[in-house]
Amino acid sequence: MWLTITTKRDILTHELKQGGEQMTVAERVKNARVAKGYSVEEVAKGCGVTVSAIQMYECGQRVPRDSIKIAMAQFFGTTVQDLFF
């Protein structure tokens, strides 16, 4: 079970797992995609990366470089800080 606290602007600001643990970057990226209703293919195309790159970000095998973090935050309508830190 996930607890998501949002602002009036519908930006994911604080996300906690049941038990109060912070979500990982991989979990936040996947949660943002699912919450917005996007497919992996749509996110990849919107951010200018491959489908396999998004899949690796979502399972924690890779962390996107800074320029991709910015593109992903813009795509999801949030900030780099909220999505990655």
pTM (global) more than 0.85: no
Chain segment 25-78, per-residue pLDDT in tens: 999 999 999 999 999 999 999 999 999 999 999 999 999 999 999 999 999 999
Contact 35, 46 (CB under 8 A): no
In terms of Cα–Cα distance, which of 63, 71, 51, 52 is closest to 27? 63
Tokens representing residue 71 in the block: 């593109």
In the numeric block, the tokens 């780099």 are attached to: 80
Q: What are the structural domains, with CATH classification, of the chain?
A: 23-84 (1.10.260.40)
Contact 84, 28 (CB under 8 A): yes
Q: Residue 3: which pLDDT band, with cuts at 50, 70 and 90?
A: very low
Contact 78, 11 (CB under 8 A): yes
Cα distance between the two ends of the chain: 21
